[in-house]
Structure 1
Amino acid sequence: MAATLNSDDISPSIARILNEKHRPEHLEALKAFTSALRDQEYRDVVGREAFSTLLKVLSRLSDELQAANGFDQDLKAVSLQLQLAAECFRALRNACVQSAHNQNILRELGFVDISIHILRFLHANSKSGDGIFESLRCGIQFLGNLSVGNQMCKDDIWRLTFPALLVQLLNVADEKTVSYASMVLHTCLDENKVEEVAELQNIQLVLRVMELCRTQPELDWTVLIATQHFLKSSALVENMYSAMSPCERLTLLELISAQLSGGESLDNGIPPGVARFLASSFQKCCGSVLSLATGSASSDEVLQEALTVISLLDVLCEMTSHQGQFIFLQDHPDLLVTTIELLKQVHTIGKSSKNIFSSAQNFDALVDVETDLSSQSPVVSFKAHLIRLVANLCYTHYNNQNKVRELEGIPLILDNCRMDSNNPFISQWSILAIRNLFDHNPKNQELLASLERRGDADYSALKDLGFRIEERDGSLLLRPTHKDV
């Protein structure tokens, strides 16, 4: 406890470690210092001399560890040094808690340099055994606490660890080490540093963080790094997306989708450039989804490419639902045209033969809560989401309403105003699309009224819009539905 130690006599207690052969008593002295530093009052009064002495101890331990012979084969010879180093880091970690004063002293004395020097050495020997990890973890924790709320410390740590050491620490075969390294990365990052990360030569750090998001989703720090920093940079998103495999892209798109749907704020931190890039990416690769119907998706990579298209569509649907933030996507070059053309292809393929895009009436599976989601078709709801995107792009947008008519998209959407167990809610999305297409657009209303009745079009669904189809003199007329009085 703090009451048993005085800040004036702790330095001599630790100084003995410098002049004597290492003994267990030295470790106990360091542990007492660590324990005392848990107390705020003690942290506020501990003298600079105590930290200066601790720096000398840590420097000696660094020299001894690197001078040890046979280190790769036998950790027993340096076991006590490793424990002493770990305890030094614990003491330093405690000293930084809610103490900018101590953070600045430690930085001025040179603890950042010596600590990172030791961490490099420990990482280089991390395959030697578990005995290394305790010191490695404590050293990284110290850097994390040193950087909290202290810009100068953040900048020093960043300068000495980015990108090589951070990449190395994130690849250590120890979950706690990876977690603590992620914490340091998250703490040091800011808008300017993200610009550095976005450069192509640093892409390995980005890819490792994203891989951890995929393989260790319970690791909160990497998810925070991605959502609070990476996704806010258009350049970084473009570079990482281009360098990723289709499987890795799915993780990125899942994070973007979660960011879009999470919380009530319309400002989700995703810049317009990211939205434009994803729209263009969808346009470039959307045709790969058709391979799912032909059976040409024989390889896992081809399947992942098709799944990427599906995820891109989901993200675009979510983005265009946020009319205020991403309304500019309504004018994204040829996005609407691409969507209509893909809808035509999917619809035609589904009707030409029995395949993955064909309509179905198997509604029992939809209500079976025990259904294994992994057994569902990868294109479930794909056609419905294409129609949803059309609806969003046409909302109060006169030119897009006309474009759909010119592309013969209105009969296509009408043909989907029916229940389809492979596309839950497709009739509702179709109704929404028709409503948006007819809103203040007489030409589109006239088109519907002039259509010949088709047996495969469920016009009764339009009743939900407040319209009815009335036949007169061999023609179809669009009439408002009169409410019964």
Structure 2
Amino acid sequence: MAAPRPPPARLSGIMVPAPIQDLEALRALTALFKEPRNRETAPRTIFQRVLDILKKSSQAVELACRDPDQVEHLASSLQLITECFRCLRNACIECSLNQNSIRNLDTIRVAVDLVLLFRELRAEQEALLTAFRCGLQFLGNIASRNEDSQAVVWMHAFPELFISCLNHPDRKIVAYSSMILFTSLNAGRISDLEENLNIAINVIEAHQKQPESEWPFLIITDHFLKSPELVQAMYSKLSNQERVTFLDVVLAKLMAEELLAPDEVTAFLRHAELLAGSFVDQCRTVLKLMSESDTEDEEVLATVRLLDVLCEMTANTELVGYLQVYPGLLEKVIDLLRLVHVAGKDTRDLFSTSGSVDTGEVSSAADGFKSHLIRLIGNLCYKNKDNQDKVNQLDGIPLILDSCRIDNDNPFLTQWVVYAIRNLTEDNIQNQDLIAKMEDQGLADASLLKKMGFEVEKRGDKLILKPVSDAPQSE
């Protein structure tokens, strides 16, 4: 493709300044590079010319950084810079040849330096923001599917560009810098984030502020969650609000239709250890929910979300075996269920039973908490005789049965009780006998047992707990 001719030096007898000629030529190139065939035939000399214009225009930005009074005179330079970036951005779209040519001219270093100057200016000009955004888009495009360009972008951009841009007030700048980070990261560069945890934390914060943006979410799921070392180092530094955001992403990953890949399973076993330990250490913080004034406590919300994650982890056949033997987890869950259950009976707090079914939206951190405790107990006892017996020894079975009542703050509570009791009694005669004796002594409601799919039959001197023919299916 031949380079477009610059506009004539005179138009209708009026001299045309060189910057205007450059701007018009750049706009023509930008339009041409929208077509794949033009991108594929572009000569290297065009990119050298664009780089020369970019370097020359950046001098005005450098001057404005030294002398703030010069900021108001940046308009024409910013126009040129913006069009240079647009031109280069378009030239890199699905064209490794152009990516390589532009990279070999050292354009990435010039672009990164200029973007950092933009952040230093901190001027509230739409033209500046536009140039800023286009510069980031160019860096994202030149790195896309090009490992050599990714390495050069990382070399020049990390860590300053990400430190400068991930917490920028402009949402597009945050999104575009997240795109660059996602594109450039690989397993070998994750260790760099361990030494710059603020960048990883800024990604969590970016997702918290912009949940609709795909790039921060993808950075967490496709990069962070594959590195147990990074997650462990980062988690301890997160605020409780940031932990809730991070745990929401973990939940989304666990609940996705795609199964965890083998390398992800290995990483998630380490995550399970971290999160189970955190829950064991801080689970009693949820008792603050006994006071209405503490319902917004962020530490409580983080603990509630930990429980949600552990429920999903123990629903995963690859992870449940590890958590079933995690020291102290089952004991803590039963202990917490007992405290919550007693509190709900004795006081009119957030754990007290509502007594009616409500189809409205759940709004309190306590909503579903008891259900999830019972679900977790059921999961931890799934085909695990030691845990079945441990629940019996801790008097957990009467506690679970007593929890089976209508409660609009705990949707599906009855179903999870049924599920837990089934897992507690499967191939466990001792637990079956305990429930049968409870019914015989009036400690377990026969109609309640029937609703749960069980009935007690007397055979000679023995009481047998057996499923009724129309027993409901477990969740």
Structure 1 length as normaliser, TM-score?
0.88
> Deviation string for 1:118-142 (max 9, x for gaps)?
1111121132422211211111111
Give the CA deviation at 1:153. 0.7
Amino acid at match of 1:423: N
- Counterpart for residue 64 of structure 1: 60
Task: Check the 8 A contact 1:451/1:476 in 2, yes or no.
Answer: no
Equivalents in 1 of 2:22, 2:38: separation in Å?
A: 21
Give the CA deviation at 1:316. 0.7
Amino acid at match of 2:178: S
Structure 2 counterpart SS, 1:127:
coil
- Counterpart for residue 278 of structure 1: 275
Runs of 4+ off more than 6 Å: none
> Deviation string for 1:79-132 (max 9, x for gaps)?
111111111111111111121111111111111111111111112113242221
Please say if 1:31 is aligned against 2:27. Answer: yes
Give the CA deviation at 1:452. 6.5
5+ unaligned residues in a row in structure 2: which ranges? Answer: 10-15, 471-475
Task: Check the 8 A contact 1:183/1:221 in 2, yes or no.
Answer: yes
Amino acid at match of 2:226: K
- Counterpart for residue 158 of structure 2: 162
Please say if 1:220 is aligned against 2:206. Answer: no
Alignment of 1:411-450 (within 5 A): 411-450=398-437
Alignment of 1:52-131 (within 5 A): 52-68=48-64, 72-131=68-127
475-484 or 434-443, which deviates more = 475-484
Structure 2 counterpart SS, 1:213:
helix
Equivalents in 2 of 1:418, 1:242: separation in Å?
A: 38
Amino acid at match of 1:207: I
- Counterpart for residue 247 of structure 1: 241
Give the CA deviation at 1:77. 2.1
Amino acid at match of 1:52: Q
- Counterpart for residue 12 of structure 2: none
Q: Which of residues 320, 323, 331 in structure 1 aligns to 2:314?
A: 320
Give the CA deviation at 1:446. 2.4
- Counterpart for residue 195 of structure 1: 191
After superposition, the Cα gap between the structure-2 partners of 1:165 and 1:70, relative to the gap in structure 1 and judged at 3 Å, is: closer
Amino acid at match of 2:141: N
Equivalents in 1 of 2:295, 2:310: separation in Å?
A: 26
Structure 2 counterpart SS, 1:447:
helix
Give the CA deviation at 1:351. 2.0
Amino acid at match of 1:408: D
Give the CA deviation at 1:336. 0.8
Please say if 1:139 is aligned against 2:125. Answer: no
Q: Which of residues 147, 150, 154 in structure 2 aligns to 1:151?
A: 147
Aligned alpha-carbon RMSD (Å): 2.6
Equivalents in 2 of 1:341, 1:202: separation in Å?
A: 39
> Deviation string for 1:320-341 (max 9, x for gaps)?
1112344321111111111111
Task: Check the 8 A contact 2:439/2:446 in 1, yes or no.
Answer: no
> Deviation string for 1:159-199 (max 9, x for gaps)?
111122112112222222222111111111112222321x1
After superposition, the Cα gap between the structure-2 partners of 1:354 and 1:35, relative to the gap in structure 1 and judged at 3 Å, is: closer
5+ unaligned residues in a row in structure 1: which ranges? Answer: 1-5
> Deviation string for 1:261-296 (max 9, x for gaps)?
12143549462111111111111000011121156x
Q: Which of residues 342, 356, 377 in structure 2 aligns to 1:362?
A: 356
Task: Check the 8 A contact 2:174/2:206 in 1, yes or no.
Answer: no
Give the CA deviation at 1:455. 5.3
Give the fraction of aligned pairs with identical amino acids, expressed as a percent.
38
Task: Check the 8 A contact 2:64/2:71 in 1, yes or no.
Answer: no
Task: Check the 8 A contact 1:112/1:156 in 2, yes or no.
Answer: yes
Task: Check the 8 A contact 1:22/1:80 in 2, yes or no.
Answer: no
Equivalents in 2 of 1:254, 1:428: separation in Å?
A: 24
Task: Check the 8 A contact 1:350/1:357 in 2, yes or no.
Answer: yes
Count residues with an aligned counterpart.
460
Equivalents in 1 of 2:67, 2:83: separation in Å?
A: 20
